[in-house]
Structure 1
Amino acid sequence: MKTKTIKIRVNAEVARIFEAASDEQRRKLEALLSLKLSDTTRSKKTLEMVMSTISRNAQGRGLTPEILDSILSEN
């Protein structure tokens, strides 16, 4: 399978974890992300439906509007 490098923005903690991972762990994370992105883009669901599902999952895991604001304001 041919691959191509892309850039994505993630929060600082995710970046730190990825950068500290071994080469094997990075390859696994990259494969997992690639599969998830592929599944999302091939889905018949609209972007709005995907975002709604992500939002419900995040709220179910304890993400509040205040926490989200805090994450988004980190620079």
Structure 2
Amino acid sequence: METKTITIRVNAEVARIFEAASEEERRKLEALLSLKLGDVTRRKRLLEEVMSDISRNAQARGLTPEILHSILDQE
């Protein structure tokens, strides 16, 4: 699959976590984001709806900001 680099704005904490992640974790996060953005465009759902769904699902499964930070800090 062909890829292309884009620039998106995120809050400073998200940027810091992404920048601190290992190359493997970055690739995983980029793949996840690519899939979700593709989902949004195919389904014509508002990005806010998709983001809310992701957040609710992650929280329902017990993901907290601390756990996410811990996962991203693993090397």
Specify the alignment match of 1:23 in structure 2.
Answer: 23
How many residues in Structure 1 have an aligned counterpart in Structure 2? 56
Runs of 4+ that moved beyond 4 A: 54-59
Query: 1:1-75 to 2 correspondence within 5 Å?
Result: 1-45=1-45, 47=46, 51=48, 53=49
Task: Deviation per CA, 1:8-60: give whole Å up to 9, x if none.
Answer: 00000000000000000000000000000000100044x3xx53x3586569x
Pick 1 or 2: higher relative contact order, CA cutoff 8 A, min separation 6. Answer: 2
TM-score, normalised with respect to structure 2: 0.62
Unmatched tracts of structure 2, length 5 or more: 60-75
Unmatched tracts of structure 1, length 5 or more: 62-75
**How big is the alpha-carbon RMSD for the aligned residues of Structure 1 and Structure 2?**
2.5
Report the identity percentage. 68
